[in-house]
Amino acid sequence: MTVRQLTTEQKDLLVGQKWGYENQYFNPIQDNNGVWIISNEEVNGCTLSQAIAIGCDGWLLSLPEITYVPVPYELP
């Protein structure tokens, strides 16, 4: 699965910002390598007017696409 890589500054800008049409919010997480990421669905679902409103219209679509490295989860 591929995701979009963020810098810490980009992550900070997106946290709590709305995207899409159904009260959806960006939810940056860190993968197992400590890299901040968002899903392709978040990027592709954000409208141009939403991107402009939060100041990420210049870089949102050009975020590098990387392979997701999940954090291992161990059951108790």
Cα→Cα distances 50→34, 57, 60, 69, Å: 27, 8, 11, 28
- The number of beta carbons lying within 10 Å of the beta carbon of residue 59 is 13
Tell me the pLDDT of the chain (76 aa) as tens digits: 999 999 999 999 999 999 988 889 999 999 999 999 999 999 999 988 899 998 988 899 899 999 999 999 888 8
d(CA 74, CA 68): 18
Rounded Cα distance, 36 and 14, in Å = 11
29: exposed, middle or buried (C-beta count within 10 Å: 0-12, 13-18, 19+)?
A: middle
